[in-house]
Amino acid sequence: MNNLEQEKNKIKKINLKIDGISCQACVAKIERKLSRTDGVKNVSVNISNNIGLVEYDEKSIKIDEIFKIIEKLGFSPTKKEDLDLNNEKNKVDENLKKQLKNSKVVIILSSIVMYLSMGSMMGIYIPNFINPRQNLIIFTFTLFFLTTFVMLIAKRFYTVGFKQLFLKTPNMDSLIAIGTSAAYIYSLYITYKIFLTHNLDLIHSLYYESATMIIAFIMIGKYLENLSKGKVSEAIKKLADFQVKKANLIKENEILEINIEDIKINDIVLIKPGEKIPVDGIVIEGASSVDEAMLSGESIPVEKKKDDKVFSASINKNGILKVKTTALCKDSMISKIAKLVEDAQMTKAPIAKLADRISLYFVPAVISIAILSSSLWYLLVKYNFVSVNKNIFEFILTIFVSVLIIACPCSLGLATPMTIMVGTGKGAELGILIKSGEALETLQEIDTVVFDKTGTLTQAKLEIIDIITNNNIKSNEILKVAASLEKNSEHPIGLAIYKNAKAKFKTDETLYETQNFKAISGFGVEAEINKDKIFLGNRKLLEEKIKFNLQEKNKIFEDLEAKGNTIVFLAKNSNFMGAIVLADVLKNESKTVIKKLNEINIDSYMLTGDNKRVATSIANSLGIKNVISEVNPEDKYKKIQDLQKENKKVAMIGDGINDSPALAQANVGIAIGTGTDIALESADIVLMNKNLETLITAIRLSKAIMLNIKQNLFWAFIYNTCGIPIAAGGLYLLTGHLLNPMIAALTMGLSSVSVVMNALRLKNFK
Ligand code: ADP
Ligand code: MG
């Protein structure tokens, strides 16, 4: 194991559920503190589900210490693994129910407060026993009690808000706590004066209705926000829920129904028509068409027969299948996808960092603005620069409260994570796995797509169209020798040759035994048969190994290659035996995809290890102008680097098998259509079905997501920046009225709700 790997092994990743987060300022605070802690490599907290992902070095920091740090900041973390998902869901549901109940009570109480205060001022009917004109004291005390009750229901704002304020890291709750407390305390003072003087005019100075209405609007806003947050994570739950719970195990000719958790590798399960496939495995008997939409987003069923792979959560349409399990339930493809998407939803797009930085300074700035603007107005009025139509103290109180309330940056904080969450969920539904917010943001900026040839532009279903022999060797012998080597190969060429031979010779036994098999990536394969050294691969392989020169046959081969056929050459010791000519079938949609990319100003390149003539011929038929051919897998990434040096933003799309370095080098690496672990790991984005059109959908989705984020940020930002000067007295200069703190609360609640609604629009993306 080299140093790098050892380094990696010490790093642990952990998901934490963090309670007490109410806004982006909290998130920024936790992230800033932890990222400055020794031993913490990476931290990202997502406000849409209050889950933090922490990567830390076990050698230099213990998880307990991380917990302590978070607790010291005023939040309570739990390990996510410790949480039972079902339990969590119940807890969330219960919380929502409680919230709804609380909001209802608050709405009713604050409506009464509102009715009494407004009614008394505007002369609407109020029953005598509580009418200030008849019963001033009862009226005032009723308002006082109702408001106090409402504040008790909303006590969380005060406990969290003031706590954070005293920790010198005020957050959104602090703004609400200070604002409503100011209104409340002033009203208490007026209540006391009413009690002493019985002066009816003083009721105009009561601000109980502001305090209650602010709380009411914000609670409703929070409730709606949480309601839709729940809706979003449903997408992932749906994905995971799609796994069935039971499977029919075949054991000693008996069929037992057992839990899927108890299924072991190599167990055999029976799947009847219409049933969901419970495990990842290989078909050992039967044939059927299988709907894999849950994994690939592709709704056309796939035909499965013996030796084909099937995946948990897909639906067996019409046949009976016997399947041998290849992975435990927790390692199944669908579990991995669900995990991957969930992790992705927590990562941040670079654009979110801006919002984070703003939020961190925003709240203290708002408190300062509130204090400054009310002080300024106080001085202006006191020294007669402006005259106001009411008590100066009430005047500046209104300004102070409105500024605090309208400037809550919570919509700003929600803008990006909300959209990324909905967007990546939608992607998963369409068979597009986006692994990070960063990949998403980069994808919509690309101007160049580099396609791998085999398996990406073509179907990688190669057919042997000819076998050319040398020195009277039988063509069957060539096929037999070639297939004996290729039996060990994973390469599409290898698979094609082996499959063809098997069809021709019916059994495996006619093939030769091979020793010392070696795949030379990008060149071919070699092995020994009865002590003879056999080489099979491209020209370069033979040139290198047997100093081989094609001479007179060259013209034939070049002509075949110019038609787009791949040729592999076979040699025994130092003798050229013959060649196999293979043709691949283009994917139906390849040509349209290239055309569509062209239409949106994205250049297409083809990158292949195959011969130049073959590559050019295929590129021509697809309308690709740029061909990079005869490149070793190891050198493919250098070609991507070259393109990047020309200031191109490059997406590389390949099957992920021997393209990993290139996928990693590209600005965005996209793996296509293979249900393999390598693909999931090596790429930034994985397209779960082989249809290249998904690439276009992915680019469109990334554009839609980024546009959505920008809309959200724009509205949140405009709203906050315009709101502050208006609340700070700007409106008074224009109209002679101050912004009512209740209106401030209403708009502030609405702005969060509108951000959430806008993000949810992405659910309708097609
Ligand atoms: P691609 O870029 O199309 O995926 P590779 O880099 O995998 O191609 O391979 C490049 C060339 O090397 C192939 O066109 C073929 O000539 C030769 N080659 C690679 N693997 C094999 C194999 N298993 N058998 C025969 N030839 C092979
Ligand atoms: Mg390849």
215-254 pLDDT per residue, tens: 888 787 777 767 666 665 565 566 666 667 788 898 888 8
DSSP class of 277: P
Per-residue model confidence as pLDDT tens digits over 656-693: 667 778 888 899 999 887 655 666 677 889 888 888 99
Burial of 643 (0-12, 13-18, 19+ CB in 10 A): buried
Angle at 669 between CA 668 and CA 670, to 5 degrees: 115
Q: What is the mean pLDDT of residues 267-275?
A: 89
The crossing angle, in degrees rounded to 10, of helices 24-35 and 350-382 is 120
Residue of 481, 499, 610 best suited for mutating to test ligand 1, as the one with most atoms within 8 Å of CB: 610
Q: Tell me if 545 CB under 6 Å of ligand 1.
A: no
Would you state the pLDDT for residue 526? 93
Q: Tell me if 278 CB under 6 Å of ligand 1.
A: no
Q: Which of 11, 77, 4 is nearest to 40 (CA)?
A: 11
How many whole angstroms from 566 Cα to the centroid of ligand 1?
9
Nearest CA, atom 8, ligand 1:
609
Burial of 695 (0-12, 13-18, 19+ CB in 10 A): buried
Is pLDDT at 423 greater than 70 in this prediction? Answer: yes
Half-sphere exposure of 628 (CA within 13 A, CB side): 21
Would you state the pLDDT for residue 145? 95
The catalytic residue among 267, 356, 452, 655 is 452
Residue of 478, 499, 538 best suited for mutating to test ligand 1, as the one with most atoms within 8 Å of CB: 538
d(CA 171, CA 566): 64
Ligand number nearest CA of 521 is: 1
How many whole angstroms from 592 Cα to the centroid of ligand 1?
26
Q: What is residue 405's three-state secondary structure?
A: helix
Q: Which atom of ligand 1 is nearest to the CA of 519?
A: 23
Q: Tell me if 316 CB under 6 Å of ligand 1.
A: no
d(CA 231, CA 570): 59
Residue of 481, 498, 523, 672 best suited for mutating to test ligand 1, as the one with most atoms within 8 Å of CB: 523
Q: What is the mean pLDDT of residues 308-325?
A: 89
Would you state the pLDDT for residue 167? 83
Q: Tell me if 658 CB under 6 Å of ligand 1.
A: yes
Pick from 405-409, 473-477, 601-605: least confident: 405-409
How many whole angstroms from 698 Cα to the centroid of ligand 1?
29
Q: Which of 397, 341, 446 is nearest to 706 (CA)?
A: 446
Q: Which atom of ligand 1 is nearest to the CA of 658?
A: 7
Helix (H) or strand (E) holding 557: helix 554-562
Task: Dig out the tokens for 136 from the structure.
Answer: 């001033």
Q: What is residue 431's three-state secondary structure?
A: coil
Is pLDDT at 87 greater than 70 in this prediction? Answer: no
Residue with tokens 């300004």: 399
How many whole angstroms from 720 Cα to the centroid of ligand 1?
58
Q: Tell me if 587 CB under 6 Å of ligand 1.
A: no
Beta bridge partners of 269: 249, 323
Q: Tell me if 631 CB under 6 Å of ligand 1.
A: no
Q: Where does the pLDDT of residue 185 fall: very low under 50, low under 70, confident under 90, or very high at 90 and above?
A: very high
Per-residue model confidence as pLDDT tens digits over 288-311: 999 887 777 677 788 998 888 898
Would you state the pLDDT for residue 314? 85
Q: Which residue has the higher pLDDT, 315 or 150?
A: 150
The crossing angle, in degrees rounded to 10, of helices 85-122 and 208-241 is 160
Q: Where are the alpha helices (DSSP H) in 154-207?
A: 155-166, 172-197
Q: What is residue 266's three-state secondary structure?
A: coil
How many whole angstroms from 582 Cα to the centroid of ligand 1?
12
Q: Tell me if 456 CB under 6 Å of ligand 1.
A: no
Q: Tell me if 44 CB under 6 Å of ligand 1.
A: no
Would you state the pLDDT for residue 699? 96
Q: Which atom of ligand 1 is nearest to the CA of 632?
A: 6
Whether 343 sits among the annotated catalytic residues: the reply is: no
Would you state the pLDDT for residue 228? 64
How many whole angstroms from 463 Cα to the centroid of ligand 1?
15
Per-residue model confidence as pLDDT tens digits over 148-168: 999 999 998 899 889 888 888
Residue with tokens 């580099």: 450
Residue of 451, 568, 607 best suited for mutating to test ligand 1, as the one with most atoms within 8 Å of CB: 568
d(CA 412, CA 427): 24
d(CA 421, CA 427): 10
d(CA 258, CA 243): 14
Q: Tell me if 610 CB under 6 Å of ligand 1.
A: yes
Q: What is the mean pLDDT of residues 357-383?
A: 87
Q: Tell me if 582 CB under 6 Å of ligand 1.
A: no
Burial of 125 (0-12, 13-18, 19+ CB in 10 A): exposed
Per-residue model confidence as pLDDT tens digits over 544-601: 888 877 666 788 899 999 999 999 999 999 888 999 999 999 999 999 999 999 999 9
Would you state the pLDDT for residue 16? 86
Average pLDDT, the chain: 85
Pick from 349-363, 517-531, 591-605: least confident: 349-363
Per-residue model confidence as pLDDT tens digits over 707-754: 999 998 888 878 778 888 988 888 888 888 888 887 887 887 788 788
How many whole angstroms from 452 Cα to the centroid of ligand 2?
6
Angle at 49 between CA 47 and CA 54, to 5 degrees: 75
Q: Which atom of ligand 1 is nearest to the CA of 454?
A: 3
Residue of 491, 607, 657, 659 best suited for mutating to test ligand 1, as the one with most atoms within 8 Å of CB: 491
N- to C-terminal Cα distance for the chain?
46
Q: Which atom of ligand 1 is nearest to the CA of 497?
A: 24
Nearest CA, atom 22, ligand 1:
524
Nearest CA, atom 13, ligand 1:
610
Whole-prediction pTM: 0.75
Ligand number nearest CA of 660 is: 2
Per-residue model confidence as pLDDT tens digits over 458-471: 988 889 999 999 88
Angle at 722 between CA 716 and CA 726, to 5 degrees: 135
d(CA 82, CA 76): 14
Q: Tell me if 537 CB under 6 Å of ligand 1.
A: yes
Type of residue at 343: D
Q: Tell me if 538 CB under 6 Å of ligand 1.
A: yes
Q: Tell me if 656 CB under 6 Å of ligand 1.
A: no
* Percent above pLDDT 70 for the chain: 91
Per-residue model confidence as pLDDT tens digits over 631-664: 887 788 899 999 999 999 999 998 766 777 888 8
> How many CB atoms within 10 Å of residue 475?
14
Rg (alpha carbons) of the chain, rounded to whole number = 34
Q: Tell me if 567 CB under 6 Å of ligand 1.
A: no
Q: Where does the pLDDT of residue 492 fall: very low under 50, low under 70, confident under 90, or very high at 90 and above?
A: confident
Ligand number nearest CA of 674 is: 2
Would you state the pLDDT for residue 229? 62
Would you state the pLDDT for residue 455? 84
How many whole angstroms from 279 Cα to the centroid of ligand 1?
33
Would you state the pLDDT for residue 371? 94
Do the beta carbons of residue 414 and residue 568 sit within 8 Å? Answer: no
d(CA 152, CA 72): 25
Do the beta carbons of residue 316 and residue 290 sit within 8 Å? Answer: yes
Do the beta carbons of residue 171 and residue 191 sit within 8 Å? Answer: no
Q: Where does the pLDDT of residue 7 fall: very low under 50, low under 70, confident under 90, or very high at 90 and above?
A: very low
Task: Dig out the tokens for 1 from the structure.
Answer: 């194991």
How many whole angstroms from 657 Cα to the centroid of ligand 2?
7
How many whole angstroms from 453 Cα to the centroid of ligand 2?
7
Those residues with Cβ within 8 angstroms of residue 52's Cβ, 6 or more apart along the chain or in another chain: 15, 16, 17, 18, 30, 43, 44, 45, 46, 70, 77, 346
Beta bridge partners of 605: 450, 626
Q: Tell me if 501 CB under 6 Å of ligand 1.
A: no
Do the beta carbons of residue 669 and residue 685 sit within 8 Å? Answer: yes
